[in-house]
Structure 1
Amino acid sequence: MPSLSVDSISVGYNENFIIDGLSVEIPEGKITTIIGPNGCGKSTLLKTTSRILKAKRGTVYLDGKAIEKQATKEIAKKMAILPQTAEVPTGLTVFELVSYGRFPHQKGFGTLSEEDYRYIRWALDVTGMREFANRPAEALSGGQRQRVWIAMALAQGTDLLVLDEPTTYLDMAHQLEVLNLLRKLNEEEGRTIVMVIHDLNHASRFSNHMIALKDGKLMKQGTPDEVMTSETLREVFEIEAQIVSCPVNGKPICLTYDLMEINKVKLSAVGVFSSPTAG
C-alpha cells in the first residue's frame, strides 16, 4: 500500500508562500480529511502531494521516494486524483469516461485489455454506476457525476485516492451518497483516502485522521476526538463552538454558535451590524 508524506514543504509564488515549512504524514489504510478556513492551503497541499504543483522547498514522498523523481505513469499507478472542479466532457458515455482511468496501464495504441475491462466493470459495480454505463456522462445528476469520477479513479487500480472537495455543489443527500461510498471503499477495499472537506461534522464522521491548517501551517492533526475541540476550532477558524458527542456513533459534533469577540469588533468597525437606515 502506497505511503504518502510531506517534509518541510513550502509552496507559493516568488516568496509569497501559501504553505510554508509544512510536514505531515498520511496514515495508510485510513480516511484523512484536511480542514481549515478558505485560503489556508488545503487545496494547495493536495495539488503538491499529487505533483500538480511543485514545492519551492521540501519534499513530497510517495512510497518512500521523492515524488519529483518518479515518472508520471508510475505515480498514476499508485495514486488517483479527483480535482475540485472536474468538468464532465461532452460526447462521452459513462463507460468511456471511466475507461480513461486505465490510461497509466495501457501500452502501444491504448487498446483496452481484458484486465482493463475487468477493472472498469468492477469500478462501475462498486460505485453503483453499471446500469448507467451507456448513458451520456453529461446527462447525469451531480451525485451520479461524482460517482463516475470516483469510478474513473478506482479504475486506475490504485490504493491511494486523493480528492479535493468531493462534495462541493452537492445537496445533502448526494453528499452522503458520495461520502458513504468513500467510507465503503476504505472499509471493504482497504483504500487510503485523503480529502479536503469543508463540513466539519462530515469530516469528523467519515474520517479516522484529521489535519487542521491555518495560514499554510499545521495547527493540529490526529483523530477526530483530538482535533475537533473547542480550543482547536477557536484557534483555526476563530469561532466559538460547543463540541458534543454524536448520539449515533459517538464522534465529536461541532455546534457553532458565534464569532470570536475579535471578529465581532472587526465587523462592527465596518458597519456590518448597523441598520441601513441608521443615521
Structure 2
Amino acid sequence: MNAFLDAVVHPLQYAFFQKGLLVATLSGALLGLTGVYITLRGMSYIGHGLSHSIFGGFAASQLISAEFFLWGAGVWGVMSALAIITVTRRHRIGADAAIGVVTTASFALGIALLTRFGATGPSFESALFGSILGISQGQIFMLYAVAALTVAMVFFGYRSLLFATFDPDVAAVSGVSVLATDIMLMVVLSLNILSTLNVVGVTLVAAMLVIPPVTARMLTDSFAATLVLATVIGALSGAIGMYLSYAAEVPSGTMIVLIGAVAFTVALATAGRRRRLRAAKVPAVAVS
C-alpha cells in the first residue's frame, strides 16, 4: 500500500508532471465527450481525418509565422470541416469519401511543405506524436477555453444535438436546424483536436475520440449516461496513462491510448458476460 501511495505521490513533486497530468486528464475527458456524437453518427473516421487536416494547417501557417501556427492550424481545420459538410450535402458523395479526399490532401500538403521548407516552430515529431511536456501556458489556456465551449455546446444544445445525431429528418421537421447543428459540432470538434494535438499528437488523437465513447456505449443504453461515462473513461485514460508514461518512460500519448484500449477490452468482456447472463435468465419457450 505504501509503495502504491509513493508511486502516486512521488511524481507530483515535479511541476512538469503536475501540468502534464492536468492537461492529459482534461484532454481525455474532452475528446471522450465530443467523441460520443461523432461515433453515434457513424463518423469515427472524421477524427482521424481532421487531425491530419489540421497538420496541413500547422505546416502551412509556419511558412508565414511560426508564432501564430496554432491560429493557422485552427482556421485550416475549421475550413476543412466546413468543406466536408459542403461536399457531403451538395454532391452525391458519402461523408467518409468527402473526409478522405479533403483531409488526406491537407495532410499530404503539410508533409510536402515541411519537407521542402522545414519547420520554424514545433517539430514535425511533436505534431505527429505529441509533446505534452512542451505545451505552453497559452496552449493550456486554450484547452480550458475549448473545454468550456464544448461543455456549453452540450448543455445548451443538448436537444438539437440529440435529434440531429439520431434522426436528422425528424430533427428538421421538429424545427431543429440540422445544418447549423452540424456546423457547430464540426467547429467544436476541430477546436478539440487542435487543443489536444500537443498531448496525444496527430496519429493518436482519433483513437481518443473513438475509444472512450465506444467503451461507454457497451456499458449503458442511456445516451446521457454514455456522455458521462465517455468523459470519465477519457479522463481516467489520460490520468493513468500519464502516470504509466512517467514510470515506463514511454510517450504519454501512446500510453494514454493503450490505457483506453485496455478499458475497451474489459468493457467488451463485461458486456459479453452480461448478455450471456440475461440470456440465461430468459425462460425457455416450449415448441410444440
User: Into which bin does the TM-score normalised by the smaller protein fall?
Assistant: under 0.3
TM-score, normalization: structure 2? 0.26
Bigger share in strand: 1
Bigger share in helix: 2
TM-score, normalization: structure 1? 0.27
**Which structure has more RCO (C-alpha within 8 Å, separation ≥ 6)?**
2
